[in-house]
Structure 1
């Protein structure tokens, strides 16, 4: 099989939960050898989040395929194993609590002095400085501090995002930063240290609301699946209960929607609705006019008109429906696990002719003996 881009790269990760495991799984997908260091007693605490995947945690299965699990007590045996392991590593990732890496002798300054080519990546809640540097930082807490909760939900109540947005954002920035650092090392011959924080990642993603609030004087309102600055945009329901999400992006599309979907071309020039800003300002009346037409249409008729008019739209699907999404036909594959083969999707990043690595999800400590034997053999 042709080599993947990161074949030969060794990543050692003292990781748990979501952000760091998400970053290193992307590296493993591209061929890197990822050695996951876990506590011997219970391992990554995400192993115990739930038991829905035939007794395994859904989070752990999602985040940890194609990795090797090394069970290691870092306080008792860390020095004897981590030293030789990091001599052979290209990348070291950790998301310890603040100060823990230094107490374990794994601080980035010490490691990079010993291993100049090593790339170190620390993932934390708020970064190494500032008044919040030592604060505990779980995904919901960061969503709250960064304002994501404030702009998510309905006018009546805020809500957190349904996925761990802060963790995923930090994981993706860590992944891309490591790739950039590997490229930089090819030019300079030396590694570097990377600091990634959940807070910085999510504040970056909050760019639109921050600019909107800072310069407009008021925050974007919570509008459910609607958009604070665009209308019509969001979920609309046909007479038979079919929920469809649509998006009007400009005046040309608005005119096409009025004539081709609503069959009310006069709405396009109604002075309440003839600009984007007026449609937003008069959203209740706008929706009432749209709903009056949709009440007389079936879902199939509504979807057919949207397609014929060239209006961007989608079905609002439940999670179970996504599992059977027609766009995923032929993409499902399988990965091994301690409980047998599990259904899985290949990663979004693909290279023609080079299938992504899709190795099993490891049991706790499954590779400990093999890794220790590899270190012993390579030391002779």
Structure 2
């Protein structure tokens, strides 16, 4: 089977996390993605760290399967090159500062006048309009403004999530909107102009907490790994560590105390017989569970809980996740190229039965510049002149004749 998005071309002026995640998802589905980068270092994420053979971990994660065009968008020639590519593309994605795309000549109205079938996605921090449209919008700031930090952490201290949740939410909604727009275009022939904001995306993910606030008037409390509406639902001690247990119904409670923890008398204890009672008596419930879990090793208790059908998990460190048998035994790892060496990459979560994601290499800055200059209509001399003038940059480690 052909890749689902084979034959579609995406041009992206992007950096950091949200937009690159969106376009990498499209690349994983077979789209050709042309990534437009600055000539002076490219995407900021390239240099966040040097964790993967000298390249930033965020960049390797988010940019496989793309072509890198390094061009100066402050120059007329550079903008013309990019505009030519956009005019022949199916999708244009940008996460420049508000108003910057329009100033460069890449506004949705202008682009879609030339190419009515084009799907344009404008990504921003707080959306177009409103008092905060021009504010800086890093992931941490969006987590704060959206309320995510207010419900994350322990009762004593708030925390942001350990991954860039706001960026990831935005990237996923962006990719979803592109797919929907392309489906509609197939029926109507019309493109689309789409705005996706980090703030809106993250507030959407606040659903249950937001409804709790609106309809009870109560700010949801920070619960650590516990849960405001379910008990027992927390980390409990073992002989050699801890284990997470989550019991979401009364039948599960009876099974837990009778078949796993060996205290069947607690099944009908008037303090714990229903979830509502267990939540009301949370501290006592947690105490009796902890007293029994501490008699087992983590592995033994995990095995008993799994056999009994009780939801439970061990808290894995990242080295354990990399070697997780659920990934290894299902053959989820692949090898991709990077500028300096190969690296491991996970297959996308959505698995097609008759097609595997292409899992292309992570491009070096300007790896495909000369080929793309030629594709845009420049002859060899013109391309070389742009490169010599610094309007565009070709990575010298890659032979342009073999660049896609």
Cα distance in 1 for partners of 2:116, 2:190 equals 6
Q: Which runs of 5+ in 2 are unaligned?
A: 380-404
Cα distance in 1 for partners of 2:46, 2:299 equals 43
SS of the aligned residue for 2:127 comes to coil
Q: Does the 8 Å contact 2:84/2:376 carry over to 1? A: yes
Q: How far has the Cα of 1:377 moved from its partner? A: 7.7
**Aligned residue runs from structure 1 range 1-380, under 5 A:** 2-76=1-75, 77-241=77-241, 243-329=242-328, 330-376=331-377
Cα distance in 2 for partners of 1:377, 1:147 equals 50
SS of the aligned residue for 1:75 comes to coil
Q: How far has the Cα of 1:283 moved from its partner? A: 1.4
What TM-score comes out, normalization by structure 2 length? Answer: 0.91
Q: Does the 8 Å contact 2:87/2:111 carry over to 1? A: no
Q: Does the 8 Å contact 1:253/1:311 carry over to 2? A: yes
Q: How far has the Cα of 1:239 moved from its partner? A: 1.7
Q: Does the 8 Å contact 2:298/2:314 carry over to 1? A: no
Q: Does the 8 Å contact 1:54/1:339 carry over to 2? A: yes
Q: Which runs of 5+ in 1 are unaligned?
A: none
Q: Does the 8 Å contact 2:90/2:119 carry over to 1? A: yes
Cα distance in 2 for partners of 1:75, 1:240 equals 60
Q: Does the 8 Å contact 1:238/1:294 carry over to 2? A: yes
Cα distance in 2 for partners of 1:23, 1:307 equals 36
Q: After superposition, give the CA deviation of every residue in 1:176-234 in whole Å (9 maximum; x if it has no partner).
A: 00000000000110101010000111101000001111112212211111111111112
Cα distance in 1 for partners of 2:221, 2:208 equals 12
Cα distance in 2 for partners of 1:156, 1:376 equals 61
Cα distance in 2 for partners of 1:223, 1:158 equals 10
Cα distance in 2 for partners of 1:111, 1:145 equals 32
Cα distance in 2 for partners of 1:306, 1:89 equals 53
Structure 1 pair 266–220 and aligned structure 2 pair: CA distance change class (3 A): farther
Q: Does the 8 Å contact 1:260/1:308 carry over to 2? A: no
Q: Does the 8 Å contact 2:53/2:341 carry over to 1? A: no
SS of the aligned residue for 2:123 comes to strand
Q: How far has the Cα of 1:282 moved from its partner? A: 1.6
SS of the aligned residue for 1:37 comes to strand
Q: After superposition, give the CA deviation of every residue in 1:222-250 in whole Å (9 maximum; x if it has no partner).
A: 11111111111122221222x22121111
Structure 1 counterpart of 2:398:
none
Aligned residue-pair number: 376
SS of the aligned residue for 1:96 comes to coil
Q: After superposition, give the CA deviation of every residue in 1:62-105 in whole Å (9 maximum; x if it has no partner).
A: 00000000011111033321221112100000000111111111
Cα distance in 1 for partners of 2:101, 2:79 equals 12
- Which aligned runs of 4 or more in structure 1 are off by greater than 6 angstroms? none
Q: Does the 8 Å contact 2:143/2:160 carry over to 1? A: yes
Q: Which moved more, 1:244-253 or 1:166-175?
A: 244-253
- Once superposed, what is the RMSD of the aligned Cα atoms? 1.3
